[in-house]
Amino acid sequence: MVRTRAAISPTGYPHIGTIYQAWFDYAFAKKNKGQFIVRIEDTDKDRTVADAEEKVFAALDWFNLMEDESPRKGGSYAPYRQSERLEIYKKYALELVNKGKAYYCFCSKERLDEMRQKKQKEGKVPMYDKHCRNLAKEEVQERIKKESWVIRLRVPENTQIIMKDELRKEIVFQSNDVDEQVLLKSDGYPTYFLAVVVDDHLMGVTHMVRGEEWLTSSAKIILLYDFLDWKKPLFFHTPIIRNPDKSKFSKRQGHTNVSWYQEQGFLPEVVLNYLSLMGWSHPKGKEIFSREEFIQLFDLKDINVAAPIFDLKKLEWMNGMYIRKSQKSKVKSQIVDFYKKQKVIFDEVLVEKTIPLIQERIKKLSDYLPMCEFFFKPPEKYEIDLSGKKELFKQISKDLEKIKDWTVDNIGNQLVQTAKNSELKNSEFFMLLRVAITGKKISPPLNESMEILGKEECVKRVKELTG
Ligand code: GLU
Ligand code: ZN
C-alpha cells in the first residue's frame, strides 16, 4: 500500500514548489492505487496566516489534485491539522524523555541568546550547549512544576547517523554535529521534527517526499524514528528548482506564487506537465503529455536530483502548444472564464468568431485582450500617426462601402485594387489600414478581422480618420 502526503505549512500564499511536491505525491499515489494525504503543518503560530489554508486548497483544486484525506475531507487518521494534535505530540515527547532519548530544558531565551552569540563570536556553530542535558531527576521534577520548559532531543555522542535517501548515496552525519533540537516548545506545540515523524508514522505514510533543503537536518528525523522504534518510510528529497541563470527559484522572480500563473492565464494542466519535467523525463523524451500518461509512467525512484531549470519561456511555449491543440470551443470558454474572473465580460459569440484567428498566436490567455481588444471597441490610440492620411482614408471608406457581400474574399479583392490605385507601396498601404482598424502595427490577419468586425464598423473606423 502506498500512502504519500503533502505536508503544507499555511504560512503564505500557495507556492508553486508546494504544487510541485504535491503533484509528485499525488501522481505516485494514484499510480499505485494508494492514497494522497494533505496535512496542514500549522505549528509555527507566528508564521501562520489566517486564510492561507483555504488558499492552499483552492490552489490544489485549480490543479485538480484532489486528496484522499485532509482536514476538509477527514479520514481515518484525523485530525489532519497539527494544531489539533498537540496531545499526541506531547505523549511521544514524554515517551522519549522516559526512554532517556529526550530531556527537559529550562534555559531562558536570554541565556540561549547569549550562549549563541558567544559561540558565533568564537566562530563556532551556534548549537545548543547541552546545559540541561544531565540535570538530576529530582531537580527536573521540582523545576517542571514552577518553571517553563521545553523538551530537547538527546543526540548520542560520537556516532554516525545515516540517511538513506532513495535517490542518493547514503548520507552520513556525525552525531556531534547534530543540534539537540527542541521537540516540544514551552507553549505545548511541537517543532517540525517531532510532528513530522509522529504524523508520518501514525498516518501510515510509506513514501516521504520533500524538498532537498530538508536533507541537512534529516539526522534528527532518523534519530526520532530509531528512538521510537518505528519503521521508517522511504525518503525522497526532490531537487531544488533553479532559474535559467542557476540562481535559486525565488519570490523575487515573481513566479513562485500559484496566483501568478492564474493571473497570467497559464492552464493548470500545462503547469503540471511542465513541473513533471523538473527532475523527471519521459522515457521517450516527450515533453508534452497528459496527466494520465504521467501518472502511469512516473516513479519516485526515477527522479533525477541534478537541479532542474525552470524556464518561463519554455512554459509559455508549452502553454501555447496546448492552446493550439485544444478544441476551439474549449479555448473560447477558457478565455471567457479567464476574463470573467477579472470582471471583463465579453460577447461570447464574438469571442468565438475570433478564435480561429488567434488560436495559433496566443501563448497565455492573458495575451488575448491586448491582441483582440479592437474587436470589442474602436482603437483609442494608433501606433502610427495617421493624421496626414485623410485623402487616403476617404478613398478607402468609399471603396469599402461599395462592397455588397462582406466576405473575406470580397474585402481582399477590393483592398488589393484600392492599394494599387493609391500609389502607395502595398506594404505601406496595408500597414496604415491595419493601424486604422486595430490601432496596432501587428494584429491578427486583417481581412478576416475586418470580416468579423462587419462592414459598418470598418467603414466607421476608417471615416473617423477623414475629418
Ligand atoms: N511543512 C514543511 C514545509 O511546508 C514540509 C516539509 C515536509 O514535507 O516534511 O516546508
Ligand atoms: Zn537548557
CATH no. for residue 410? 1.10.10.350
**Is position 56 within any domain?**
yes
The one-letter amino acid code at 440 reads K
Ligand 1 atom closest to the CA of 18, numbered from 1: 4
Residue 7 CB–ligand 1 contact under 6 Å: yes
**Is residue 21 exposed (0-12), middle (13-18) or buried (19+ Cβ within 10 Å)?**
buried
Per-residue pLDDT, averaged over 229-246, amounts to 94
Name the residue of 3, 192, 217 whose CB sits within 8 Å of the most ligand 1 atoms, as the mutation to test its pocket: 192
Q: Ligand 1, closest atom to CA 200?
A: 9
Q: Residue 206: CB within 6 Å of ligand 1?
A: no
Say how far apart CA 405 and CA 342 lie, in whole Å: 37
Q: Spell out the long-range contacts of 165-172 with Cβ–Cβ below 8 A and sequence spacing 24 or more.
A: 165/215, 165/218, 165/235, 165/236, 165/237, 166/234, 166/235, 166/236, 166/300, 166/301, 167/236, 167/237, 167/301, 167/303, 167/305, 168/237, 168/305, 171/215, 171/218
pLDDT in tens, 404-428: 999 999 999 999 999 999 989 999 9
In a domain, 74, yes or no: no
Q: Using a 6 Å cutoff on CB, does residue 332 contact ligand 1?
A: no
Which atom of ligand 1 is found nearest the CA of 209? 8
3-state secondary structure of 215: helix
Let me know whether 174 and 307 are in one domain. Answer: no
Closest CA to 300 of 31, 51, 24, 66: 24
Q: How far is the CA of 125 from the centre of ligand 2 (A)?
A: 17
Same domain, 185 and 212: yes
Contact 365, 453 (CB under 8 A): no
Any ligand 1 atom below 6 A from CB of 196: yes
Same domain, yes or no: 123 and 225: yes
CATH code of the domain containing 271: 3.40.50.620
Task: Considering only CA atoms, give the Rg of the chain.
Answer: 31
Q: Which ligand is nearest to the CA of 9?
A: 1
pLDDT at 255: 85
CA–CA gap between residue 420 and residue 37 (Å, rounded): 69
Encode burial over 104-123: b for 16+ CB neighbours within 10 A, e otherwise: bbbbeeeeeeebbeeeeeee
Residues 221 and 134 in one domain: yes
31 vs 248, which has greater pLDDT? 31
In a domain, 296, yes or no: yes
Cβ-contact 397, 463 below 8 angstroms: yes
- pLDDT tier at 248 (50, 70, 90 boundaries)? confident
Per the structure, the complete domain to which residue 429 belongs is given by 390-463
Q: Is 6 in the pocket of ligand 1 (CB under 6 A)?
A: no
Q: Is 280 helix (H, G, I), strand (E, B) or coil?
A: coil
Q: Is residue 211 one of the residues assigned to a domain?
A: yes
The pick from 8, 23, 28, 41 for probing ligand 1's pocket by mutation, whose C-beta has the most ligand atoms within 8 angstroms, reads 41
Q: What are phi and psi of 288, to 5 degrees?
A: -110, 125
Residue 6 lies in a domain: yes
Are both 166 and 210 inside the same structural domain? yes
C-alpha cell at 452: 468579423
420: annotated active-site residue:
no
Q: Which of 43-47, 97-101, 325-329, 333-337 has the lowest mean pLDDT?
A: 43-47
Reply yes or no on whether the pLDDT at 250 is more than 80: no
Please give the average per-residue pLDDT across 190-216, as a whole number: 97
Same domain, 138 and 185: yes
- DSSP label at 454? -
> Atom of ligand 1 at shortest distance to CA of 192?
1
Q: Which pLDDT value is given to residue 322?
A: 98
Ligand 1 in reach of 210 Cβ (< 6 A): yes
Phi then psi dihedrals of residue 164, to 5 deg: -100, 95
Q: Which of 238, 271, 301 corresponds to the end of one domain?
A: 238
153 - beta bridge partners? 102
- With 0-12 / 13-18 / 19 or more C-beta atoms within 10 angstroms meaning exposed / middle / buried, residue 44 is middle
Using pLDDT thresholds of 50, 70 and 90, give the confidence band for residue 251.
Answer: low
What average pLDDT score do residues 18-44 get? 97
pLDDT of 207 reads 98
384, 431 contact by CB (below 8 A): yes
Instruction: Inform me whether the pLDDT recorded for 357 exceeds 90.
Output: yes
Is 256 a pocket residue for ligand 1 (Cβ < 6 Å)?
Answer: no
The amino acid that residue 377 corresponds to is K
The helix (run of H) or strand (run of E) holding residue 150 is: strand 150-153
341 Cα–ligand 2 center, Å:
54
Q: Is the CB of 5 under 6 A from ligand 1?
A: no
Let me know whether 89 and 234 are in one domain. yes
- Same domain as 263, residue 251: yes
41 lines ligand 1 (CB under 6 A): yes
Type of residue numbered 36: F
234 and 104 both lie in a single domain: yes
- Over residues 306-323, the mean pLDDT reads 95
Tally of structural domains, the chain: 4
Any atom of ligand 1 within 6 Å of the Cβ of 207: no
State the distance from the centre of ligand 1 to the C-alpha of 231, rounded, in angstroms.
Answer: 20
Using DSSP's 3-state secondary structure scheme, residue 10 falls into coil
Instruction: Indicate whether 145 and 231 sit together in one domain.
Output: yes
- DSSP assignment of 80-138 equals -BGGG-HHHHHHHHHHHHHTTSEEEE---HHHHHHHHHHHHHTT-------TTTT--HH
**What average pLDDT does the segment 134-159 reach?**
98
Residues 403 and 455 in one domain: yes
Separation of CA 175 and ligand 2 centre (Å): 19
What whole-number distance in Å separates Cα of residue 65 and Cα of residue 63?
A: 5
Residue 381 forms part of a structural domain: no
pLDDT at 254: 64
CA of 216 to the centre of ligand 2 (A): 24
CA of 139 to the centre of ligand 2 (A): 13
- If one residue of 5, 9, 240 were mutated to test the ligand 1 pocket, choosing by the most ligand atoms within 8 A of its CB, it would be 9
In this predicted model, which residue has the larger pLDDT, 251 or 400? 400
Kindly state the percentage of the chain with pLDDT values over 70: 99
Average pLDDT, the chain: 96
Asked if residue 79 is part of any domain, the answer here is: no
The amino acid sitting at 129 is D
What is the pLDDT, as a whole number, of residue 382? 97
Q: Which of 91, 251, 325, 341 is catalytic?
A: 251
Tell me the pLDDT band of 252, cut-offs 50, 70 and 90. low
- pLDDT for position 47: 92
Q: What is the DSSP letter of 214?
A: G
CA–centroid distance, 97 to ligand 2, in Å, is 14
- What is the bridge-based pairing of β-strands 234-238 and 207-211? parallel
**Quick one: average pLDDT of 267-277?**
98
Q: Is pLDDT of 444 > 80?
A: yes
Same domain for 228 and 141? yes
Ligand nearest to the CA of 7: 1
Examine residue 423 and state whether it is found in any structural domain, yes or no: yes
Q: Give the model confidence (pLDDT) of 360-393 as tens digits.
A: 999 999 999 999 999 999 999 999 999 999 999 9
